Structure 1
């Protein structure tokens, strides 16, 4: 069992590191080009393996609630951000709604359990991460009531925010674990920095759309 545990940790660390490296390409290259799309899909695949090994480790070997929350948020935002791109012309589907509902219930259940769990990370980090997950799922469920507006352009900003935030969550898990002596700053600083980067990307996309509208007017 110990050998399997070490193997699982090795795979988790390897694919997590690869996800962080691969994720830099869609993060920093021109949005929409071939490299952006290809590396974005690879990032999703690597993140899925990170989730699978995390779930296996948490359920079978060593339950660590702080990593569970981070992994839940990262995977949800990565998949949801990917789906925003895939459903930009049709709007969210029933499967998207079910996916959001499952993660919403999971987030609420974890929130109810937190007072009874010994927290290794700062409670502020834990509650804010869960709050972000719950808020995001509620937002995603609300899209069914304003699909037309969402298809007109909100999907793009959502895709940018979620994919950048997914990368931030993985980075926070990495720095929070490796740089444990600098907690809580090593836990939330990556999220703050990536949030600023996401806002810059969204503003740039907004300016390009405005410019295109003026040219077509």
Structure 2
């Protein structure tokens, strides 16, 4: 009951965050609410995975979603200052968990679906990006933090939606469970285009004002 209630509330808060004006007090409060509820969902999912039934995709999502949430929150708080010691500690801990977890999942090759492979790929994409980020020139972080925050938070919302579909919808599996992930990529691309457009328009604003 806790898992279902927290999951439903987290998805509602998550979609409100996505489609409300960004940077406002309401956006930040809803984001914090989503973050806390999603952590409850992931904690209960992890307990279920460890003690009751191991489902590969859900096991990976139990690590991926809280890691992305933490990374998205950190990106917004650091705002271009780059990774700090705590980020390195969290990344190292995630690697330590992700490696045996991924091996456990991938060794079940005969029983895996496209959802399982995509979950593992998404996890390692984020981990390798965060590892590479330590080598980025400092000036890059001021340009990419909004994109990172957008990707990680949006991907977390749609990963939770994918998990819901996987639990509830029995028709068209595993493709019906992949649909939310595909939708999430479209939404992320839309937000990225908006961010890129705003970034290119910002330097032109003083010129327009002078004119």
Q: Considering the TM-score relative to the shorter chain, is it more than 0.5?
A: yes
TM-score w.r.t. the length of structure 2 is 0.90
1:175: which partner in 2? 165
Matches within 5 A, 1:1-217: 10-117=1-108, 122-216=112-206
> Could you tell me whether the CA contact under 8 Å between 1:84 and 1:158 is conserved in 2?
yes
For residues 138-192 of structure 1, give each alpha carbon's deviation from its aligned partner in whole angstroms, at most 9, with x where no partner exists. 1111111115133221001111111110001000000111012221122111011
Separation (CA, whole Å) in 2 of partners of 1:89 and 1:139: 15
> Could you tell me whether the CA contact under 8 Å between 1:66 and 1:119 is conserved in 2?
no
Q: Give 3-state SS (helix, strand or coil) of 1:144's partner.
A: helix
Separation (CA, whole Å) in 2 of partners of 1:115 and 1:24: 32
Quote the offset at 1:128 in angstroms.
1.8
For residues 39-83 of structure 1, give each alpha carbon's deviation from its aligned partner in whole angstroms, at most 9, with x where no partner exists. 011110001111111122222333333311122222211111111
> Could you tell me whether the CA contact under 8 Å between 2:14 and 2:157 is conserved in 1?
yes
Q: Which runs of 5+ in 2 are unaligned?
A: none
Count residues in correspondence.
207
Separation (CA, whole Å) in 2 of partners of 1:94 and 1:65: 31
Between 1:163-172 and 1:125-134, the stretch displaced more is: 125-134
Separation (CA, whole Å) in 2 of partners of 1:155 and 1:180: 38
Separation (CA, whole Å) in 2 of partners of 1:178 and 1:118: 24
| 1:200/1:141 CA distance change after superposition, 3 Å | same
Quote the offset at 1:118 in angstroms.
8.2
